[in-house]
Structure 1
Amino acid sequence: MINVLIVDSTRILRESLLHLIEKDSELRVVGSAENGLQAVESCGTLAPDVVLMDVAMPECDGIEATRIIKRKFSTIKVVILTHQTDKEYVASALKSGADGYLFKDIKGSELVLAVKCVAGNMRVYHHDVLEGLDIYIENRNPINQTRREIELIRYIAQGKSNKEIAGILNLSEGRIKNIITGILKKNDLQDRTQLAVYAITKRYI
């Protein structure tokens, strides 16, 4: 069972999402919140697997709430669900550690699938979001990656830890860390989040 927390400032939307999500037998809504502060508190008490997070909310917006949640509860997945298409919002969401960015006009079946994918350590982005990633990762000339590097990049994009990747590839964690450092430097990237986005833009996943 995948436990979901709904965070949105609009009550009717919270209720609509609840009914939509609970139609699927694999999903369960464990609670809801109307602002970012309540969302952080609920993550501590309800321990959801996935949070559906609005952006524009009073007291603490969704971007800041996501940043706090990812820092305090690293295993909880957060998907931004918003009307905001502005590139700056997309960039801020990715930098905050969000595991996905979807628009509220998404089909119900697609949202359910997205929740399941994120719970399975995948990242989900609306196709229109990818067009705005040039502000987050500048367009670069193609860089040749080795087969091993591409394989490792894919695992990172799936949300796997260095320890998990080391076990899969039969390498030490230290070796995995060194390879990741080299990939980041080669591609002029700052962290694993940027590397995951890079994997999407290069169609490695």
Structure 2
Amino acid sequence: MIKLMLVDDHAVLRDGLKNIVGMESDIQVVCEAVNGIEALGKVEEFKPDVILMDINIPERNGIEVTGLIKGIYPSIKILILTMYNHEEYFLSAIRQGADGYLLKDAPSDHVVDAIRAVAKGQSVIHPSMTKKFLNFSSPIKENVAVEKKESLLTEREKDVLLCLVKGMNNKEIAQNLFISDKTVKIHVSNIFKKLEVKSRSQVVIYAVQNQLVPLS
């Protein structure tokens, strides 16, 4: 069962999401928050698996709260659900460790699928944002020697990195590369450390922006 937390200051939207999720047997809304301060308290109390986070919330915005939560509970997955399709919001959320970024015009079944995906360790990015980020001039990490970081990756880690960019979860990577799930976890952890990123969304965007993997 995926324990889900909703963070949005609009009751109508939260109620709608609860109704949608309520029809799924593998997802349960365990708590809600209407502002950033309340969200931080509820996270500590309920320890959700996935947080569906709006950006424009009172008492610390969703991007700031995402960074704070990820700093304390890195294993909790955070899926941004917002009306903002601006590059600066998207990149800021990813920099703070968001595991996914969806726009509120996404169909309800896409939101449900995205919750399941991030719970499994996959990254989810709204299609319109995916098209944009290839042209972003601002990298995830500024003022870094990309060539040096790339050279730190072993050949096997580069193979795993390519699988991450393709959207594979750990089990799929293990099957694709004929290695164990445990070995995949070790490689992914090493990649995160070497590239100085916090989430799969970050590593995907960083790798594509800095041409660490072939796009074809």
TM range (shorter): 0.7 to 0.9
| Contact 2:192 2:198 (8 Å CA) reproduced | no
Residues 78-89 of structure 1: pairs in structure 2 closer than 5 A: 78-89=78-89
Q: Could you say what secondary structure the match of 2:13 adopts?
A: helix
Gaps of 5+ in 2: 141-145
- Residues 1:33 and 1:79: Cα distance change in structure 2 (over 3 Å): same
Residues 48-63 of structure 1: pairs in structure 2 closer than 5 A: 48-63=48-63
Determine the structure 2 residue equivalent to 1:95: 95
- After superposition, give the CA deviation of every residue in 1:136-181 in whole Å (9 maximum; x if it has no partner): 439x9xx9x9862432213597686xxx9x965859x6xx59x749
Q: Could you say what secondary structure the match of 2:37 adopts?
A: helix
Determine the structure 1 residue equivalent to 2:204: 196
Task: Tell me, in whole angstroms, the C-alpha distance in 2 between the residues paired with 1:73 and 1:90.
Answer: 21
- Residues 1:104 and 1:117: Cα distance change in structure 2 (over 3 Å): same
- Structure scoring higher RCO (CA < 8 A, sep ≥ 6) equals 2
| Contact 1:91 1:135 (8 Å CA) reproduced | no
Determine the structure 1 residue equivalent to 2:13: 13
- Residues 1:19 and 1:124: Cα distance change in structure 2 (over 3 Å): same
Residues 114-193 of structure 1: pairs in structure 2 closer than 5 A: 114-133=114-133, 134-137=136-139, 148-153=156-161, 154=163, 168=181, 180=191, 190-191=196-197, 193=199
| Contact 1:87 1:135 (8 Å CA) reproduced | no
- After superposition, give the CA deviation of every residue in 1:28-55 in whole Å (9 maximum; x if it has no partner): 0001111111111111001110000000
- Residues 1:167 and 1:132: Cα distance change in structure 2 (over 3 Å): same
- After superposition, give the CA deviation of every residue in 1:103-159 in whole Å (9 maximum; x if it has no partner): 011111111111001000111000111233214439x9xx9x986243221359768
Over the residues paired in the alignment, what is the CA RMSD in angstroms? 3.5
Between the aligned residues of both structures, percent identity stands at 32
Task: Tell me, in whole angstroms, the C-alpha distance in 1 between the residues paired with 2:54 and 2:183.
Answer: 40
Structure 1 stretch 193-202 or stretch 91-100: which is displaced more? 193-202
Gaps of 5+ in 1: none
Runs of 4+ in 1 over 4 A off after TM superposition: 155-160, 166-171, 199-204
Instruction: Give TM-score, length-normalised by structure 2.
Output: 0.74
- Residues 1:195 and 1:112: Cα distance change in structure 2 (over 3 Å): same
